[in-house]
Structure 1
Amino acid sequence: MPRSLDGQITMEKTPSYFITKEAPARISAMSKDTKLIVVVRDPVTRAISDYTQTLSKCPDIPTFESLTFKNRTTGLIDTSWSAIQIGIYAKHLENWLLYFPINQILFVSGERLIGDPAGELGRVQDFLGLKRVITKKNFYFNKTKGFPCLKKSEGSSKSHCLGKNKGRTHPNINQEVVQRLREFYRPFNMKFYQMTGHDFGWD
């Protein structure tokens, strides 16, 4: 990564940072002043999306339902499955708070990023101390994909939409399984809301 010059902000993204146990200590050792941005979404939807992505690459994987449970009869959730584990946000955040104060971390709502991209990016710009140059005028909604697209500039015909690997149709998941997952995540979600001071409304 190139060195940042005066007046510049260097950004880097890796989805696995938030859930990697060693990441907070390493980033803190590099720079304790680093500002962190974490995009989170409903952990149940996120788990199904994770499964859908894997299914698109490996069609022969077991069903979502069979991977979700250690024991279907007792309803015991298999927290060793990464698709489930990632959504236990409170657990991962505890590790980050050992190295960074909560005011150095911005949590962006994945749902609001789709429904109100300008609003969420406005929060990001404020958090980074930037002038709000990205506004509602920079977006339009792609009904086919179900996601907003970003215009290069106001009045420009050039735009950037999410790639073909985004917006896949999710498989039908047994609603009893979905409800069991919601029950499983509820206490973790409540703790996460308390830790961040923000209710993401996932329940």
Structure 2
Amino acid sequence: MAALIFALLFFINHSPVASPRAIGHEPPSTRRLPDIIVIGVRKGGTRALIEMLRLHGAVVSARNEIHFFDRDTNYRLGPDWYRAQMPLARPGQLTVEKTPAYFTSVKVPERVVRTKPAVKLLLIVRDPTTRLLSDYTQVFHNQLEKRKRPQPLEDLLMRDGDLNLSYKALNRSLYHVHMERWLTVFPADSIHLVDGDALIKNPLLEMKKVEKFLKLEPQINASNFYFNATRGFYCLRAAGKERCLHDSKGRQHPQVAPAILQKLQEYFREPNRRFFDLVGRTFDWK
């Protein structure tokens, strides 16, 4: 009997223990502070960018814009509240959220670095004039939905024949002003710039750069994109399903007098140069 007990104990102590995965149990999913934040820019293509990021199996995204860092009422709720807004993620997956208002908010960079100093930041930028027109178009349609009468763009943009420098949409396109603030807090290698104009024309090329920046195993490929001639831009394909961005994306911009467009392009020339110097690259903007 003693020999039998000894043999049983030896077998138990020296038998391999099956891992949870081996017996059919996945490691538990948890909510955690984001590994990646899409900080902006508003109307630069942030929705397209995060939807394309979701094509990668190692990335999970928050469902809505959280506005944790730019809204004092949310920020006062603390990191635990912020974490609770995140999606469930398995070990090895990266969590991402996007709130375009972060880029232009004065308080946000310091708040982000205090909360998650090692976070990776994605900033998508477009031609400043195009971004301004898209910004106005969104506000225009929002006001129509609320049954309000939108102001014509010229009334907002011009004052006594000159550009109205207090127009918020104009200031959002002064990228160098806001970028300087972020670079005083975060090292340049923690911020990746996505070319929003290039993302529209060749989404795969831009997303391969994002994968590399995030150190993701290459997974997004040409089969994930198809051009929708009716919508006039690329849509997404994954797991046998096809989907396009919301109808609010790709709206036609208002007609603007050529003289006003020229004023805008001339005005942005120097700010653009300063932005290029700041980030060490150029973009194909007029």
| TM-score (normalised: structure 2) | 0.66
How many matched pairs? 197
Letter of the structure 2 residue corresponding to residue 50 of structure 1: D
Letter of the structure 2 residue corresponding to residue 141 of structure 1: F
| Residue number in structure 1 paired with 2:103 | 18
Residue 277 of structure 2: which of 172, 187, 194 is its match? 194
| Residue number in structure 2 paired with 1:151 | 237
SS of 2:95's equivalent in the other structure is: coil
| Residue number in structure 2 paired with 1:69 | 158
| Residue number in structure 1 paired with 2:126 | 41
Deviation at 1:79, TM superposition (A): 2.6
2: CA distance between counterparts of 1:79 and 1:152? 44
1: CA distance between counterparts of 2:124 and 2:243? 19
Residue 180 of structure 2: which of 84, 94, 99 is its match? 94
SS of 1:92's equivalent in the other structure is: helix
Deviation per CA, 1:82-127, whole angstroms, max 9, x where unpaired? 2111110000001101100111111101111110100111111000
| Residue number in structure 2 paired with 1:103 | 189
Percent of aligned pairs with the same amino acid: 38
2: CA distance between counterparts of 1:102 and 1:20? 18
Deviation at 1:81, TM superposition (A): 1.5
| TM-score (normalised: structure 1) | 0.92
Letter of the structure 1 residue corresponding to residue 242 of structure 2: S
Once superposed, what is the RMSD of the aligned Cα atoms? 1.5
Deviation at 1:58, TM superposition (A): 2.1
Is structure 2 residue 164 aligned with structure 1 residue 84? no
Deviation at 1:6, TM superposition (A): 4.6
Larger relative contact order (CA 8 Å, sep ≥ 6): 1
- Following TM superposition, the consecutive aligned residue runs of length 4 or more in structure 1 with deviations greater than 3 angstroms are none
1: CA distance between counterparts of 2:137 and 2:245? 16
Letter of the structure 1 residue corresponding to residue 229 of structure 2: K
2: CA distance between counterparts of 1:71 and 1:128? 48
Structure 2: give runs of 5+ residues left out of the alignment. 1-29, 34-89
2: CA distance between counterparts of 1:195 and 1:63? 34
1: CA distance between counterparts of 2:93 and 2:167? 39
Residue 170 of structure 1: which of 234, 253, 260 is its match? 253
- Greater C-alpha Rg: 2
